[in-house]
């Protein structure tokens, strides 16, 4: 299609076309073509209900900027990848200010070693609609569990794979407060499950004895 023909496209049609671009690098380049294309990129980002950053070289600034544009966002995946998605507590603090955060239903921060209680509690404090959370492989403690318990009444599943600093005390608060919780992945933790099942007998808890189990094992 010739450049002149592209320029004649209505903004909403251009935004629809740009919505098929999955590369954040390509979107950034498209945004720099002209003001019309920038509007199209912004509009296409605003329509997105899911963002997956795994596999992309992202930092705090770029990730927060993109999430800030995605006001219809429902699912956010910032999992670790071999290319090094470098998100820290500072990045989560910036992301927490995005308008979409209150409507997020699913968040994955799996394996992000730069994330601690400071970032998680900041994000969770504004994510009241959250149903599914994966913070496995991070350095969170019971402080994060308390924040989740008090801010996420709709939580249905949580992955805490290898979160070695959480305790049964924190988990009991979580299970007691989050009455809609259906499934927990506690692989690689020191938390005993008997006390949790006493509070919620129907809770599905994954804590496999097989030490060779895949680290990305999800809750049932």
* Residue 34: exposure state from Cβ atoms within 10 A (0-12, 13-18, ≥19): exposed
What span, in angstroms and rounded, lies between the C-alpha atoms of 86 and 62? Answer: 10
**3-class SS at 26?**
helix
The answer to whether residues 66 and 41 touch, using CB atoms and an 8 Å cutoff, is no
106-108 and 132-134 beta bridge pairing = parallel
- Whether residue 116 contacts residue 90, with contact meaning beta carbons closer than 8 Å, is answered with no
Which CATH class name applies to 9-47? mainly alpha
Interval 28-85: pLDDT, tens = 666 655 776 666 666 666 678 888 887 677 789 988 988 998 889 999 998 875 445 6
CATH homologous superfamily of 49-205 equals: Ribonuclease Inhibitor (3.80.10.10)
Helix (H, G, I), strand (E, B) or coil at 129: coil
Q: Which pLDDT score is estimated for 26?
A: 60
The 10s digit of each residue's pLDDT in 110-126 is 988 888 999 999 999 99
Confidence of residue 1 (pLDDT cuts 50, 70, 90): very low
Provide the residue ranges of all domains of the chain, joining segments of one domain with +.
9-47, 49-205
């Amino acid at each position: 299609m010739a450049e002149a023909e592209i320029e004649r496209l209505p903004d909403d049609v251009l935004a629809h076309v740009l919505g098929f671009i999955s590369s954040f690098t390509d979107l950034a380049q498209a945004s720099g073509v002209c003001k019309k294309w920038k509007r199209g990129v912004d509009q296409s980002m605003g329509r997105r209900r899911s963002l997956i950053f795994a596999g992309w070289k992202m930092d705090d600034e770029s990730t927060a900027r993109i999430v800030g544009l995605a006001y219809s966002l429902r699912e956010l995946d910032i999992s670790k990848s071999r290319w090094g998605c470098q998100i820290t507590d500072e990045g989560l603090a910036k992301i927490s200010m995005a308008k979409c955060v209150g409507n997020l239903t699913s968040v994955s921060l799996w394996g992000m070693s730069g994330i601690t209680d400071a970032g998680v509690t900041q994000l969770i404090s504004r994510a009241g609609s959250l149903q599914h959370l994966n913070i496995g492989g991070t350095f969170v403690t019971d402080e994060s569990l308390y924040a989740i318990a008090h801010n996420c009444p709709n939580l249905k599943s949580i992955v805490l794979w290898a979160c070695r600093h959480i305790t049964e005390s924190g988990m009991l608060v979580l299970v007691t407060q989050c009455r809609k919780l259906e499934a927990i992945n506690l692989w690689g933790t020191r938390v005993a499950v008997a006390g949790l099942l006493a509070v919620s007998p129907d809770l599905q808890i994954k804590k496999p004895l097989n030490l060779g189990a895949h680290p990305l094992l999800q809750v049932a």
